[in-house]
Amino acid sequence: MTDDISREHEPSGFARVFGPLIALLAVVGLGWAASRGRDRDPVTAARRPDPQR
């Protein structure tokens, strides 16, 4: 009987396998987007002098 109760609180196989993977991809994607977005944002790019000049 206790096995049935404890089993209800365990994540499914799909969540156990793909949950950490999706979380990792989300963190990497957000970090990549933040680093790319700083250079591509036209407002901050206009305020900042061009590094090539």
Question: CA 32, CA 6: separation in Å to the nearest integer?
Answer: 39
pLDDT for res 33: 82
Residue 47 lies in a domain: yes
Full residue range of the structural domain in which residue 26 is found = 17-53
pLDDT for res 36: 72
Domain count, the chain: 1
pLDDT for res 1: 46
Residue 23 lies in a domain: yes
pLDDT for res 35: 78
Contact 33, 25 (CB under 8 A): no
Contact 39, 45 (CB under 8 A): yes
pLDDT for res 25: 95
- Tens of pLDDT along the chain (53 residues) come to 455 555 666 677 888 888 899 999 999 998 888 777 665 556 666 666 666 65
